[in-house]
Structure 1
Amino acid sequence: MKFHIFVFGVLATALWGCGAQDKKIEEVKVLAEKPKQQAMVVTANPHATAAGLEILRAGGSAVDAAIAIESVLSLVEPQSSGLAGGAFMVHYDSATKSLAVYDGRESAPSGATPDMFMLENGDSMPFMQAKTSGLSTGVPGVLAMLSMAHQEQGNLEWGSLFDYATKLASEGFKISPRLHGMLERFGKYIPSTPEEGPTDAYEYFFDQAGVAHPEGYLLKNPEYAKTLSIIAKDPAAFYQGDIAKQIAAMVQQPPRAGSLTAEDIAAYRPVKRMALCQDYRDTQICGAPPPSSWLAVGMIMGILENGPSPTAAGPSDPRNWAILAQAQQLAYADRDQFIADPNFVDMPIKGMLNKEYLASRAKLISNKATPLTYGVGNPWAYNDTPSEVSSGIDATQDVHGTTHFVIVDAEGDVVSMTATVESIFGTTRMVGGMFLNNQLTDFSFQHHDKDGNAIVNAVAANKRPRSSMSPSIVLDKNGDFLLATGSPGGNNIIAYTVKTMVGVFEWGLSPQDAVDLPNMVARGKTVRLEKGATPDAIIMAMKDMGFDVDASRGENSGLSVIMRKPDGTLEGAADKRREGVIGTL
């Protein structure tokens, strides 16, 4: 199965690869034929996978490869992530069997205000107005995060990690089917006149007749190559030099100018955090703490462990899907209510992962849909410290974007990293060949609910918006690496990431079969099932159990997974819903 998926990715890119870079992609296919795998890369783009393998082949670490991969994705997958965006990285050190989380989440500028996304009449600003504006750009964090991780975990020289991306930007890359599809669907939101906003992206992607460049078009980005040459010499130049000034100037352009300044950018600092871990059967499932929403992933798996046992029929049994749906509803309800930037909000983190609390939530799961499963619980009662503050009902909007990749290097170190510019093409504003993020729209546009209670994920100066990004690493009972997973998809990331773990650990599937499962997102009352992938029998059975089912075509995950098998070899899985490719050494 792994070799089949890999060949799919390589053959797809044969139509739109480029020159010497294409040869490196073809090497991925040859290397995949080796029976023993000592290192592996899985990304959502063939060029990114080839870049990561090039670094590993040169003796680079998993972190080294992550830097090369993200610099390439910023160019070839700009609708999803970029160096002017943010990320979370979970890193496993095989020598010490330890985990660390690197937080590169963007932060709001010092001039941000709680009502910056509200209209004069008190309503929320329409999402697309907020997105395609200067208001929505936070201080980019991914490059500072990667620099911090490299100082601690890098093997190769920093400057050498950008060679693949620099060459690709200078010589050009052929527009992939997915990138072209994004331009066809969402190009109408890219400003084409100065009145609508800065037109750099329009001039980059469209010809003089206003037609999007076709699939296979050789797209060059000399401005990005120049930016990379500056970053390769010194990553601090991104935050303290001309690049920062240019980003601030672009953000401050109308319409709907933002307040971000060069001083805000210079003041940004990434954060190294301890990983959160949740016991699950004889494993530990670990991920990023808030402002990441990984807590919901840990909660779902803990609820499942304490809930009804799955039947041997696995994904063929609607009852198993019903159990998973209710576990999601329970966790999403708590996540929406409590999770935000830990520097601004007290959260019942220990309570949310407390075994007794999760067991009490699991008791709400039944044979039919019930409002109890999408109501907020009281994890404060199980927390070390109580709270007398009532949190407001969340008003954060649901958007889809982002990328995810996983790496295991020759030493057994692991990276699971999710990166984003938030929504598709970020703000659509460009600086130095990069798309600026619209990450501040991940805040709640309203700061209080209708009852006057403060919403924890409201906008505040220097605050990091809550993120759905949930890169995950699973350890076995000995503390050894077992599985790495994660996905893009906005709020759906939690459900997509959990699906792979449920498929592997609950239903006994291979990683690829788990990724191929239909996507299901149960946040609130509605249960969304992936149309065309979910058998009609499952959809009808869920409806018969009383679930409010929406068969949606929009469940577009981008899962990347690596699992260590009992004999020590690695097994990868790439999501066919995107352009994922597995590469091995």
Structure 2
Amino acid sequence: MRRQFTVRLAVRPFLRPAFGPVVGLTLAFACAAPGVGKAQSQASDAVQPETGTTALRETETARAAVNASRHMVAAAHPLAAEAGRAMLRAGGNAIDAMVATQFVLGLVEPQSSGPGGGAFLVYFDAESGALTTFDGRETAPARATPTLFLDEAGEPLEFFDAVVGGRSVGTPGTVRLMGETHERYGRLPWKTVLQPAIELAETGFPVSPRLAEAIEEDATHLSRFAATRDTFFHDDGTPLEAGETFVNRSYAQTLRLIADGGADAFYTGPLAGRIVETVQGAEGNPGVLERSDLEAYRVIEREPVCVTYRQHEVCGMGPPSSGALTLGQILGMLVRFDLAGLGPLDAEAWRLIGEASRLAFADRGRYMADADHVAVPARGLLDEAYLSARSALIPEAGILAKDQVVPGSPPWDHARLQGDDRSIEFPSTSHFSIVDEAGNVVSITTTIENGFGSRLMVGGFLLNNELTDFSFATHEEGFPIANAVAPGKRPRSSMAPTIVMREGRPVYALGSPGGSRIIGYVAGALVALLDWDMDPQAAASLPHLVNRFGPFDIEENSPAADLAAPLADMGYEVNVGDLNSGLHIIELTGDGLVGGADPRREGVAIGD
């Protein structure tokens, strides 16, 4: 029986469009008024601008989990979730719904993902019973060198000096990932699954409060380049406002090219030329991306990384993602503790989770990177004896001494010592989960890295700044850094799309945005689901406490803030602030599907 754990929270205001019927396998977007130009100032009286922190607040409103019997989509924007569900209703499968959802997200949530970025997909194929992963992560251009982010004096650049412009742009992978997986698994025609995004781009959609807030906060960087400025600002320089109708015909033209020519239309031909020209011609900060980098890009199918926890197999994306390995280490160190007996608002439970996380992050910084380019002791990091020894460092009470939180020495398949690295990752990503009627499961985390990526725009979409996920430095204390830049290399990520299996069948699909805090968000949700027996909505709403490098980050204006004092008394440095996750969780049960969407963003879980 599930525990009744209710968190009072604020449901963030967002636009719930009145969708018309699916006609010709496309969506009739009743919310969007046609017009000319990028935006019309036709704010609905029903739209209330979003203000204040995105954290949970103590209110009288709480979300309930969503139930469905046939299929479900949980995604970061109602329009994207509706597009995915429309494909399922039209006879498509989870992959068809994934493509539709992704391309709509690239339109309505452009600050977080889109054709100019990359993604990791964890996929369960019901017909074969196989679980696999697909690596659509961006790659460093052939002309990238380890000194790409060093100045003339050999010192690392300031973060935004590296980000804004062409220097930070890696070879995008999302479109190739969508195309190849659809060709392999999809049921509906390719043009059909792109049609919802095309129609919505042409007719327009209401700017959400979150997008409006993001534009306003990033106005300085977004105004630097003409194409981005012209897209997100009015002629008088004022930013788009919540409720305005946003039309992006350039995005529609790009998707029509891809619909007609497949993914190849993105990686070759005129569009590829425009991408390269934009990157190399970025005033003040040009990049090194070339057409040959786009032509050579490949999606890689990889074996999932799985760890056993509470009679479940928790499976996710291996290197170049650090997500599944670090999650696996955290869970492997926690398995000896009775977290169920402590409960979700017990400071001692979070002390244990935090200590396991600190130890795992120490290993992450030392060892994890693109395994195609550096030696990563993946098996050793999850070795049961090794994790037992690391877990033994967690004291029965109190906290680890600072000099104890150092990388361990896991068993190696072949040895190479690496330097430590704490590359910066920002929480500007998106995650969505899908289950179709046949039992196929999609768990995908998708990104352009920083909010609005490189701030360079081509064909109505933003280009990523993914190369800044590499370490800016090349060595640490005399050792080469595993996550240093190299040609063709994929930068380390914390994205952690996850499918939880039991007895060979999927039982949960989940993941989150959040930069390097993704790992903590997903770990907390997994403990909520598997130890505290919460439903997906309660797990997505659970207040956050995250420890990566020693200090505890605690979510403000939530019940978690009440744990700040007890954790400080234990000896932790405590930082109380906004922790903006975007968890989207679907549970597969014998009676149907149960979904939850993170109340901190604008997402929904919907199904039939």
Q: What is the TM-score when the length of structure 2 is the normalising length? A: 0.89
Give how far 1:538 is off: 1.1
Corresponding residue for residue 29 of structure 2 = 21
Corresponding residue for residue 495 of structure 2 = 469
Contact 1:139 1:264 in 2 (8 A): yes
**Equivalences for residues 119-138 of structure 1 within 5 A:** 119-138=151-170
Give how far 1:526 is off: 1.3
Corresponding residue for residue 12 of structure 1 = 14
| Residue 587 (structure 2) aligned to one of 563, 576, 584 | 563
Corresponding residue for residue 291 of structure 2 = 262
User: Does 1:374 find its partner at 2:405?
Assistant: yes
**DSSP-derived class of the 2:166 partner:** coil
User: Does 1:577 find its partner at 2:600?
Assistant: yes
User: Does 1:504 find its partner at 2:529?
Assistant: yes
What one-letter code is carried by the residue in structure 1 that aligns with 2:263?
A: P
| Residues in 2 aligned to 1:414 and 1:459: alpha-carbon distance in whole angstroms | 33
What one-letter code is carried by the residue in structure 2 that aligns with 1:274?
A: E
| Residues in 2 aligned to 1:536 and 1:94: alpha-carbon distance in whole angstroms | 42
User: Does 1:140 find its partner at 2:197?
Assistant: no
| Residues in 1 aligned to 2:285 and 2:11: alpha-carbon distance in whole angstroms | 43
| Residue 393 (structure 2) aligned to one of 338, 342, 364 | 364
Corresponding residue for residue 327 of structure 2 = 297
What one-letter code is carried by the residue in structure 1 that aligns with 2:220?
A: K
| Residues in 2 aligned to 1:344 and 1:35: alpha-carbon distance in whole angstroms | 44
Give how far 1:275 is off: 0.9
TM-aligned CA distance change 1:561 to 1:519, over 3 Å: same
Corresponding residue for residue 486 of structure 2 = 460
Give how far 1:188 is off: 2.0
Give how far 1:281 is off: 2.3
| Cα distance per residue 1:21-42 (max 9 Å; x no partner) | 2479xxxxxxx99975211000
Corresponding residue for residue 81 of structure 2 = 49
CA RMSD of the aligned region, Å?
Answer: 2.2
User: Does 1:112 find its partner at 2:144?
Assistant: yes
| Cα distance per residue 1:369-394 (max 9 Å; x no partner) | 11266321111xx33x241x321121
Corresponding residue for residue 495 of structure 1 = 520
TM-aligned CA distance change 1:33 to 1:312, over 3 Å: closer
| Residues in 1 aligned to 2:552 and 2:166: alpha-carbon distance in whole angstroms | 34
TM-aligned CA distance change 1:549 to 1:267, over 3 Å: same
Corresponding residue for residue 562 of structure 2 = 537
Corresponding residue for residue 203 of structure 1 = 230
| Residues in 2 aligned to 1:98 and 1:583: alpha-carbon distance in whole angstroms | 26
| Residue 244 (structure 1) aligned to one of 262, 266, 272 | 272
What one-letter code is carried by the residue in structure 1 that aligns with 2:505?
A: D
Give how far 1:534 is off: 3.8
Corresponding residue for residue 61 of structure 2 = none
Give how far 1:517 is off: 1.3
TM-aligned CA distance change 1:58 to 1:373, over 3 Å: farther
| Cα distance per residue 1:265-291 (max 9 Å; x no partner) | 111111111111111121100001100
| Residues in 2 aligned to 1:458 and 1:326: alpha-carbon distance in whole angstroms | 27
TM-aligned CA distance change 1:109 to 1:556, over 3 Å: same
Contact 1:520 1:529 in 2 (8 A): yes
Give the helix-richer structure, 1 or 2. 1
| Residues in 2 aligned to 1:580 and 1:412: alpha-carbon distance in whole angstroms | 22
What one-letter code is carried by the residue in structure 2 that aligns with 1:244?
A: A
| Residues in 2 aligned to 1:310 and 1:216: alpha-carbon distance in whole angstroms | 44
**Equivalences for residues 271-310 of structure 1 within 5 A:** 271-293=300-322, 294-306=324-336, 308-310=337-339
Contact 1:104 1:145 in 2 (8 A): yes
| Residue 225 (structure 1) aligned to one of 234, 252, 256 | 252
What one-letter code is carried by the residue in structure 2 that aligns with 1:507?
A: W
Give how far 1:535 is off: 3.9
Q: May I ask how many residue pairs the two structures share in their alignment?
A: 561
Corresponding residue for residue 170 of structure 1 = 202
| Residues in 1 aligned to 2:145 and 2:561: alpha-carbon distance in whole angstroms | 47
| Residues in 2 aligned to 1:36 and 1:496: alpha-carbon distance in whole angstroms | 25
Give how far 1:536 is off: 4.1
| Residues in 2 aligned to 1:239 and 1:398: alpha-carbon distance in whole angstroms | 26
Corresponding residue for residue 29 of structure 1 = none
Corresponding residue for residue 451 of structure 2 = 424
| Residues in 2 aligned to 1:23 and 1:173: alpha-carbon distance in whole angstroms | 7
Give how far 1:452 is off: 2.0
TM-aligned CA distance change 1:142 to 1:536, over 3 Å: closer
Corresponding residue for residue 195 of structure 1 = none
| Residues in 2 aligned to 1:537 and 1:221: alpha-carbon distance in whole angstroms | 45
**DSSP-derived class of the 1:14 partner:** coil
| Cα distance per residue 1:292-346 (max 9 Å; x no partner) | 112101111111113x222524112110011111111111111111111111101
Contact 1:395 1:445 in 2 (8 A): no
Give how far 1:16 is off: 9.8
| Residues in 1 aligned to 2:233 and 2:174: alpha-carbon distance in whole angstroms | 28
**DSSP-derived class of the 1:200 partner:** helix
Contact 1:290 1:466 in 2 (8 A): yes
| Residues in 1 aligned to 2:561 and 2:306: alpha-carbon distance in whole angstroms | 36
Answer with 567-576 or 406-415: which moved more: 567-576
| Residues in 2 aligned to 1:434 and 1:219: alpha-carbon distance in whole angstroms | 14
Q: Which runs of 5 or more structure 1 residues have no equivalent in the other structure?
A: 25-31, 193-197
Percent identity (aligned): 39
| Cα distance per residue 1:427-467 (max 9 Å; x no partner) | 11100101000000000000111x22100000011111011
TM-aligned CA distance change 1:368 to 1:339, over 3 Å: same
Contact 2:103 2:114 in 1 (8 A): yes
TM-aligned CA distance change 1:536 to 1:435, over 3 Å: closer
What one-letter code is carried by the residue in structure 1 that aligns with 2:245?
A: L
Give how far 1:151 is off: 1.8
Contact 1:16 1:175 in 2 (8 A): no
**Equivalences for residues 307-318 of structure 1 within 5 A:** 308-310=337-339, 312-318=341-347
Corresponding residue for residue 403 of structure 1 = 430
**DSSP-derived class of the 2:499 partner:** strand
| Cα distance per residue 1:382-428 (max 9 Å; x no partner) | 33x241x3211214123221000000001000000000000000111
| Residues in 1 aligned to 2:135 and 2:553: alpha-carbon distance in whole angstroms | 30
What one-letter code is carried by the residue in structure 1 that aligns with 2:328?
A: G
Corresponding residue for residue 445 of structure 1 = 472
| Residues in 2 aligned to 1:188 and 1:23: alpha-carbon distance in whole angstroms | 30
| Residues in 1 aligned to 2:109 and 2:483: alpha-carbon distance in whole angstroms | 28
| Residues in 1 aligned to 2:137 and 2:420: alpha-carbon distance in whole angstroms | 23
**Equivalences for residues 150-165 of structure 1 within 5 A:** 150-165=182-197
| Residues in 2 aligned to 1:15 and 1:569: alpha-carbon distance in whole angstroms | 26
| Residues in 2 aligned to 1:49 and 1:498: alpha-carbon distance in whole angstroms | 24
| Residues in 2 aligned to 1:531 and 1:108: alpha-carbon distance in whole angstroms | 37
| Residues in 2 aligned to 1:159 and 1:373: alpha-carbon distance in whole angstroms | 56
**DSSP-derived class of the 1:475 partner:** strand
